[in-house]
Amino acid sequence: MNEIVEIGPWRLGSAYVFLLILLVMVNRQGINKEREIFISALRMTVQLIAVGYILVYIFEQKHVAVTLLVLLAMQFFAVHNIYARVKVPIKRKLRQVIILSMITGSGITIFYFLLLVINIEPWYEPRYFIPIAGMIIGNSMTGISLGTERLIGEMISKKDQIEGALMLGATPRDATAAIVKDTFTSAIMPAINTMVGMGIVFLPGMMTGQILAGLSPLIAIEYQIAIMLSIIGSVTITVFMLTRIGYTVFFNRWSQLEENDR
């Protein structure tokens, strides 16, 4: 059977029973998070419905300018979310590195995937471009968020160690080599762990959606492997740029360690 089973508004509404179960359990345990959970569910519903109508419009347009505008909006909100997620002050120069890393790393990966891996025609076909760009940018955003917070935290906590190395004649690169390495590793590990459990522990969302839409599981697997490798590539490039360029903003032109002010 290749026909898609439409859920419909009434059946969709019945799924909210799981939200009610959560609210009841939270209330009985005195966690006092009912309002936050309700607002989160309401925002999710409204946002997804709005996005659905927007995507219908965009898919009908099939215009390169519209697709690139959506890509720009994705990048903008991804960078904004990175700033919001990191709970420590971010230097202005580091913010610039974040923007450069996000745009360069995810941009290269998106266009490589669309032009060479799946070779869609036209390359700006929104039905392919937008979902794929969203997955790549979203995972890169998570990697950079983790990397930024770890980098800043390590530079602050190991300030004395770094300054001691500098006094002994080490360059800023040598003095921060271990920090850069640890930051890079911790930032890419979530993507690697996801890849390890994929197919055995869980079926990823993209593959599940394609199978439910009637696509052959073998074709869905091909797409999922390709997109997962692209996600790993994008996270690697963006985090590598963040760490390799980011540590330099903590030093002045005399190779002295600066305070992490804005």
The 3-state secondary structure of 34-73 reads HHHHHHHHHHHHHHHHHHHHHHHHHHHHCCHHHHHHHHHH
127 and 81 fall within a common domain:
yes
Same domain, residue pair 171 and 219: yes
Return the pLDDT at 201. 64
Q: Do 13 and 73 sit in the same domain of this protein?
A: no
Q: Which residues, in sequence order, are CB contacts of 156 under 8 Å at separation 6+? A: 88, 260
**Distance separating alpha carbons of residues 74 and 228, to the nearest angstrom:** 19
Which residue range(s) make up the domain with 28?
1-61
Are 242 and 145 within one domain?
yes
Is the same domain home to 140 and 23? no
* Domain end marker among 40, 61, 82: 61
Average pLDDT, the chain: 89
Residue 145 belongs to a domain: yes
Same domain, 145 and 29: no
**For each of the chain's 262 residues, which pLDDT tens digit applies?**
456 677 888 888 999 999 999 999 998 988 888 999 999 999 999 999 999 999 898 888 888 999 999 999 999 999 999 999 998 889 999 999 999 999 999 999 999 999 999 998 889 999 899 999 999 999 999 999 999 999 999 999 999 999 999 999 999 999 999 999 999 999 999 999 888 877 666 667 777 777 777 778 888 888 888 999 999 999 999 999 999 999 999 998 888 887 655 5
**242 and 144 Cβ atoms separated by less than 8 Å:** yes
| Distance between CA atoms of residues 112 and 117, nearest Å | 7
**The residue type at 12:** L
Distances (CA, A) of 28 to 31, 76, 97, 194: 8, 40, 46, 34
Identify the pLDDT of residue 9: 84
Q: Let me know whether 106 and 127 are in one domain.
A: yes
Do 210 and 151 lie in one domain? The reply is yes
CA–CA separation, 208 and 217 (whole Å): 9
Structural domains counted in the chain: 2
Question: Is residue 201, in this structure, part of any structural domain at all?
Answer: yes
Interatomic CA distance for residues 143 and 127, integer angstroms: 25
| 139 & 112 share domain | yes
Q: Which residues does residue 202 pair with via DSSP β-bridges, in sequence order? A: 198
Pair 73, 111 in one domain: yes
Assigned domain for 111 exists: yes
Q: Are residues 175 and 195 in the same domain?
A: yes
Write the single-letter amino acid at 29. Answer: Q
Last residue of a domain, one of 44, 61, 78: 61
Closest CA to 101 of 154, 67, 143: 143
Q: pTM for the complete prediction?
A: 0.85
Give the tokens for residue 219.
């074709």
Do 218 and 90 lie in a common domain?
A: yes
Output the pLDDT for position 218.
85
Q: What is the pLDDT of residue 2?
A: 56
Q: What angle do CA 70, 149, 101 make, to 5 degrees?
A: 40
What amino acid occupies position 228? M
pLDDT for the residue numbered 61 = 82
| Amino acid making up residue 163 | E
